[in-house]
Structure formats: C-alpha cells, structure tokens
Amino acid sequence: KTSDKGFHGAPDDEEPYFTKPAINYNRPRSNTVSEGTSILTNTTDTKTPTVFRWEGGGKDVCLSGSFSNWETIPMVRSHGDFVTIIDLPEGEHQYRYFVDGEWKNDPQNKIVENESTGKGEKNNMITVKKSDFEVFQALAKDQESAKDDSQKEFSQEIPVYKPWEKNSGPPILPPHLLQVILNKDTPLSCEPTLLPEPNHVMLNHLYALSIKDGVMVLSATHRYRKKYVTTLLYKPI
C-alpha cells in the first residue's frame, strides 16, 4: 500500500529525477509459491520473475525495455548495486539502463543491435525459457507431497524406526542433578532432621530411589522464600 504523504520535501524544491522524465510503470507483483498456489502451464499467460541488476555504479538508475514499451522503471539500490524484478513471459526481451541521464548497456550480458530504429543503438538481450518455470513447479510439488505426508493426528503408538535410522534413547541426565542431598551423609555436627542447603538447580525435580524390599521412595525439594522443604514419599509396591 502506498501513500501520497510518503515523500520528503516539497515537490517544487526538488530537481527533476532525470533529464528524461520517468513514466510510472505499474509492475505486476511476482508470483509466490505457497500452499494452494497452482502453476499455470499455458506459456502465453505464465510469467516468471526476472532479476535485473546494475553493477556499474551511479546515483539514479532506471531500467527500460521492450517489455515496458521502453518506459523507464526506477531501480532500487541494494548494497551498492541497483536491482529490480520484472515478471516476463517466455521469449526474447531487449533492455538497457538509464544511468544518471545517460543510456548504458551491461557489458556482462548479451548485447545486440536494435534493428527497429536503424540508428545503431545497442541493447542488452535476455531470453526467458520454459525451463525457467521448472523451479516453481518443483516447489509446488514439494508443497503437495509435504502436505500429504504430514501427520494428521496424534497417537500413543511408538514409531517404528528403519534399520538405517538411529534409535535415539532418553537424554543423559545433566551432571549437576547427580548431587542429590539425600544421597549424601549428614555430618555429625549437623542436626539429623536438617539437610544442607540445596543448589537451586535441584529444586522442583522428582527423584526416585531404586526399589528395595518392595518399597519405592520418591522425593522433591521446594523453596518458599528463604526456606527449603524436602518431602519424602514411601510407597509400597
């Protein structure tokens, strides 16, 4: 969404953008492959997003080509270069750049002579092929397969691992949880009913002792303000 209030300064105080006035060109938005997006197979209606990049420097750069009836399209500065994306149909397209008031060609791309004018003008040429659509078709197929293979409901069944898959076991107990205060001997100088102050990482954990003589022992330590309370539960099995 654009706004007429997004420009800084008064239009009367600014100089012309170029010596040749740029004509607004409403570029259609590029197609985005998402869930539910269908890829058209008709090449007459299908267009593919094509990136144009100018790396020759300059302050103000526009793109002009046969796809826009040679109307200038402003380019956006990106990391020192100028970039724009145009949706082009299949076929050959000629273009050139308008850099700081001068027409220029990109020497890194194919350059051809514009025979329509007969003035010896040279333009860059780009060829959009049908194979350019394969990446979008592949992405659409991946979206469909991922949607079909996704788990649709939860269950209590343990998944069966393939022979080549690693069967991951439970995580290893962190070493700082091995220092359980109930496993330590109480010094003779301490009150037998009082335990040493536990570490904060030991709080709110459930500890279980190995079952002996048909009894299971559970314990947990909680803190209330500056006091610690350790509760033991003896349960016959």
For 33-63, how does the pLDDT look when each residue is reduced to its tens digit (9 = 90+)?
444 444 444 444 578 888 899 988 888 999 9
Both 59 and 120 in one domain: the answer is yes
Residue 100 neighbours by CB under 8 Å, 6+ apart: 58, 59, 60, 61
Claim to verify: residue 57 and residue 136 sit in the same structural domain? yes
Is there a single domain that holds both residue 65 and residue 123?
yes
Same domain, 117 and 229: no
Output the CA torsion sign for 117, 108, 66, 17: negative
Q: What is the pLDDT of residue 24?
A: 53
Whether residue 100 is contained in a domain is answered as yes
Is there a domain that residue 152 lies in? Answer: no
User: The tokens of 113 are what?
Assistant: 């002579």
CATH of the domain at 185: 2.20.25.290
Q: Are residues 97 and 210 in the same domain?
A: no
Give a yes or no: residue 92 inside a domain.
Answer: yes
Q: Which domain holds residue 129?
A: 11-140
Domain-embedded: residue 145: no
Residue 96, judged by CB atoms within 10 A of its CB (0-12, 13-18, 19+), counts as buried
**126 & 217 share domain:** no
Q: What is the largest CA-CA distance in the chain?
A: 108
* Domain co-membership, 80 together with 181: no
Q: Can you read off the two tokens belonging to residue 114?
A: 């514009």
Overall residue count recorded for the chain in this entry: 237
> Which 3 state secondary structure label does DSSP give 76?
strand
Report the distance separating Cα 51 and Cα 83, nearest Å: 7
Per-residue pLDDT, 194:
76
Number of domains in the chain: 2
The answer to whether residues 129 and 17 belong to one domain is yes
Cross-strand bridge partners of residue 77: 82
Same domain, 23 and 88: yes
Select from 118, 84, 124 the least CA-distant residue to 103: 124
In a domain, 162, yes or no: no
pTM of the model: 0.40
Do 223 and 131 have their domain in common? no
pLDDT tens column, 167-225: 667 777 777 777 777 777 767 777 777 777 888 888 888 888 888 888 999 999 999 98
Write out the two tokens for 53: 């990049």
197 and 83 inside one domain:
no
Q: Which CATH number does the domain housing residue 95 bear?
A: 2.60.40.10
Q: Are residues 131 and 206 in the same domain?
A: no
Give me the pLDDT at residue 132, please: 65
Query: Is 170 contained in some domain?
Result: no
